[in-house]
């Protein structure tokens, strides 16, 4: 004797017909409302709608700038309130809350500025590769520094356990 799988209520053909009828009704309502909207719009209403849209497009960038300033102020408050450990962890994640770039021995700021403005046409090839390499070295130095900080903090704990 074979067992039949349990039937989930509401998944039969009636349910599918109900869903199709719902979408058919929805589509009919949308088309009817759009046609009536277009028929009822006068020139005055079109001009009003155009003015509202244009005003929105003109004012929106200012609202975005205000929002950015508020967001930067909140970020500054968060950064000031963070401890050194949290800043190191944030730098490791790369979310912009931590410290600046790690210093690479033997590379001056002038070299980095030159790499930022080089093109292939001026004969200074390999600028992107040097930039990638410096980024990789910075990441490795940051990881090593964090590891050393962690080891220094955990040494007293281990020493207490060993004695």
Q: What does the chain come to in residues?
A: 163
DSSP notation for the chain: -PPPPPPPTT-SHHHHHHHHHHHHHHHHHHHHHHHHHHHH--HHHHHHHHHHHHHHHHHHHHHHHHHHHHHHHHHHHHHHH--HHHHHHHHHHTSSSS--PPPPTT--HHHHHHHHH--GGGT-TTHHHHHHHHHHHHHHHHHHHHHHHHHHHHHHHHHHHH-
91 has a pLDDT exceeding 90: no
Residues 94, 36 share a domain: no
pLDDT category of residue 99 using cuts at 50, 70 and 90: very low
Structure confidence at residue 45 (pLDDT):
92
Residues 107, 150 share a domain: yes
Residues 66, 25 share a domain: yes
32-78 pLDDT, tens digit per residue, is: 999 998 889 899 999 999 999 999 999 999 999 999 999 999 988 88
The domain of 103 spans: 84-117+127-163
Residues 102, 68 share a domain: no
Residues 113, 141 share a domain: yes
Structure confidence at residue 22 (pLDDT):
92
Last residue of a domain, one of 27, 58, 81: 81
Range 95-110 average pLDDT: 60
Record the pTM.
Answer: 0.36
88 has a pLDDT exceeding 80: no
Residues 152, 113 share a domain: yes
Across the chain, mean pLDDT equals: 79
> Is residue 105 a contact partner of residue 94, using CB atoms and an 8 Å limit?
no
In a domain, 7, yes or no: no
pLDDT category of residue 98 using cuts at 50, 70 and 90: very low
Structure tokens at 93: 């994640």
Residues 38, 100 share a domain: no
CA 60 to chain centre: 21
Q: How many domains does the chain have?
A: 2
Structure confidence at residue 120 (pLDDT):
55
Check residue 76 and give left, alpha or beta (phi > 0: left; psi -120 to 50: alpha): alpha
**Cα distance between residue 93 and residue 143, in whole Å:** 11
């Amino acid at each position: 004797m074979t067992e039949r799988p349990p039937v989930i209520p509401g998944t039969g053909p009636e349910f599918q017909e109900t869903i199709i009828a719902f979408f058919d009704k929805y589509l009919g309502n949308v088309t009817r409302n759009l046609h009536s909207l277009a028929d009822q719009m006068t020139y005055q209403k079109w001009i009003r709608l155009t003015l509202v849209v244009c005003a929105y497009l003109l004012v929106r960038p200012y609202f975005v700038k205000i929002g950015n300033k508020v967001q930067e102020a909140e970020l500054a408050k968060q950064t000031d309130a963070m401890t050194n450990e949290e800043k190191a962890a944030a730098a490791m994640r790369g979310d912009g809350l931590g410290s600046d770039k790690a210093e690479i021995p033997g590379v001056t700021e002038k070299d980095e500025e030159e790499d930022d403005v080089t093109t292939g046409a001026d004969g200074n090839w390999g600028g992107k590769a040097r930039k990638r390499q410096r980024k990789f070295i910075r990441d490795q130095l940051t990881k090593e520094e964090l590891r050393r900080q962690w080891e220094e903090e955990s040494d007293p704990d281990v020493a207490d356990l060993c004695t």
